[in-house]
Amino acid sequence: MKFGKEFVSQMVPEWQDAYMNYNFLKTLLKEILNFRERQSRSPESQVNPRPLTSKATSLKRRGSLFRAFSGLTSRYGITSPKKDKEDEVILVTAMHTTDEEQGGDGQSYQTIFLRSSERGSEFEIVFFTRLDEEFNKVVNFYRAKVEEVMKHAEELNMQMDALIALRIKVNDPAVVTPFNNQRNTGYPLEAIHEEHQEKRSEDVREIQMASLDVLNHIKINTTTETPLSALKSVFNSSKSTLQFNKKELRHAKEKLKQAFIEFHEKLRFLKNYAFLNQLAFSNIMKKYDKITSRNASAAYLQMVEGSYLGQSDEVAKLIERVESAFVKHFCNGNRHQGMRTLKPNTKRKKHRVTFFVGCFFGCSLALVVAIIVSVHSRNLLRSPGRTLYMDTIFPLYSLFGFLVLHMVMYAANVYYWTRYRVNYSFIFGFKPGTELGYIEVLLLSSGLSVLTLAAGLSNLEMELDPITRSYKTLTELVPIGLLTVVLLIAVCPFNIIYRANRFFLLVCLWHCICAPFYAITLPDFFLADQFTSQVQLLRNLQFYACYYGWGDFKQRNAITCNKSKAYDVIYIVIAVIPYWIRVLQCMRRFLGGHDSTQALNALKYFSTIVAVVARTIQTQNGGVILQIIAGSTSGVATIFNTYWDVVMDWGLLCRNSENPWLRDKLILPSTSIYFIAMVLNVILRLAWMQTVLNVHETPFLHRNAVIAVIACLEIIRRGLWNFFRLENEHLNNVGKFRAVKSVPLPFSYEHEDKNT
């Protein structure tokens, strides 16, 4: 792999704008190369092969440059190596700056090209100008991030002081110091900044003691981990006084442990950032020397090595101290366990996963062909039982079809997120190394499709076989058996079939059910949005409960479900639940963060609820008035939702953008894709018109088949929405250089409360 591609693949996606623009500098070098090739082919160069400049002129110019900048270089120092002046190509200077845009007090570097009198030197001057801009950008970003992590380290030190003091108070309140017989006022502490005992002053005690007085100046930050604690937090402050119990100690330790893990990850990102950029500058200068046959890389790389980027060792030392503190305080001195937690192994691609995906996909195709052949050979589409089959069995199996289609769309999203470096793992908050790639998602979806198609074919064959035709109960129990297997796999506690992801999904589902009682995170409302596009799946689950709960499956009829008024009411409620969850989530975010846009978002979902209820009632009862109401409410909801999708969720339709009517920054290479996606979003949202226009059944499709097709179109629309929604979220993280999760710390100091 070429260095340029390797360089991009190793970048932290959210910091990509802060890295050296290697590809752009390569284009500048290509311009230099093209000019030199044109010069070598020109008639002048063949007739008069003399150098473009005389030695005297070159020396005279270099001498004038040294005189012009003698004061500057003597003051700040020239970082280029000492060599014969005739061989010098560039002069690199470091200047002090206090410009806030440059990152505060520091240095900016400037390269002066000493061969500017030569023909074509303007290309090389442009190259070094842009090279300096890139280097100063990298150095300033690195310096700012180092200052940021140093401040964060001080904050974690204060948190560790409080944690150790709380541990003493809870576990051993009567401990006596070795220095006196009084009750403990201190305890051995090794925090981040005090690991190297040998470097301390002799006047300081060898073992620093953590004073318990710190407990008098802190409060513990309570969290809404359960609905009950959320209700208590409504009436109480989010910060409470310490009760000095083991539950508080355990809770604070877990929070601080996670904070250390995230902090260590940020330090590793920063260390890798410095290394990659130094390597990039080395490679680009070597390419310059190769193209121009000069020797400028030595002087420039010496400057890079002597700069803050090359000389700063704060990050490396801080990594060592964080690892030492983490192993001691959170892993009981077990370094192997601690390093495995801080540096999880990278996820390896397994070829057997790809193999099974191919097998399941092939089996699915074979089963589809088998079902088509069975239906066609027996002319089942024209048989008297066609309508009864579509009313009962088809809804039972179409549920799995909706699920498989949604998983396939998610796999496609993961593929393109990975291809265009959208950090979906960080955005969703997956534990490092547990996120599913598109191959794993396809494995699950193809495996489920095989089970569904095999069950459908077996159900069809049992119904057609004279031997098993009389066993109605056995025939009808196949779908509920398949659903039971899927649910058991979802809640299986054993470490099989991606347990971490299954539990992550279940936790998010529980947060959606208890929407107003939990702080809303992106995975929670993202999952709730998926359910708004799976209304028909939820209605099919309702049909499962009715069909098997009331015993209709024994006679294969849905009389109880079709004739029950209660079923019709629940049919409406089931469709409203996903949108109502989103309303509660938006109101929770509005009340928690005072974001007015969340109130509008809640109003958007409420308008959708009104439209869904109106359409469902109109479908059940008919009537011109209900049809007008359903059409008008659906039209308003469609306009509201479409605007929100495109403008708020996707961040598009920006009038003054660099890309007309899109965003300033785009991930996809072609702008036409965004316009196509916007048009498709509008078209697919108009699928509700089939309800208002009473297009329920066609000569070649049953009513339930039409409903299934419309549901599939909505799932496809949601898949498109998912990609652009996460793309917008990723670009927001890139704009803020946010590459690590912000973990709430367990303790707050009283002086912080006063300042806030």
Helix (H) or strand (E) run with residue 734 in it = helix 703-735
Average of per-residue pLDDT values in the chain: 83
- What secondary structure letter does DSSP report for 431? P
Percent of the chain with pLDDT strictly greater than 70? 81
Helix (H) or strand (E) run with residue 97 in it = strand 90-97
Q: Tokens standing for 581?
A: 């969850």
Mean pLDDT (whole number) for 592-613: 91
Is 60 exceeded by the pLDDT of residue 68? no
Higher pLDDT, 324 or 44: 324
Please report the pLDDT score of residue 219 as a whole number.
Answer: 86
pLDDT in tens, 412-439: 999 999 999 999 999 999 988 889 999 9
pLDDT in tens, 142-201: 999 999 999 999 999 999 998 988 888 888 766 544 433 344 444 444 455 444 444 444
- Please name which of 155, 202, 199, 329 lies closest in space to residue 257, comparing C-alpha atoms: 329
pLDDT in tens, 476-520: 889 999 999 999 999 999 999 999 999 999 999 999 999 888 888
> What single string gives the DSSP state of each residue in 237-266?
-SEE-----HHHHHHHHHHHHHHHHHHHHH
Prediction pTM value: 0.85
Please report the pLDDT score of residue 585 as a whole number.
Answer: 95
Please report the pLDDT score of residue 696 as a whole number.
Answer: 57
CB-CB neighbours of 340 under 10 Å: 12
Q: Which residue type occupies 431?
A: K
Non-local (6+) Cβ contacts of 282 within 8 A are 297, 301, 304
Torsion of CA 556, 562, 566, 567, to 10 degrees: 70
pLDDT in tens, 97-151: 655 544 445 678 898 888 888 888 899 999 999 999 999 999 999 999 999 999 9
Is 70 exceeded by the pLDDT of residue 205? no
Higher pLDDT, 531 or 755: 531
Non-local (6+) Cβ contacts of 178 within 8 A are none
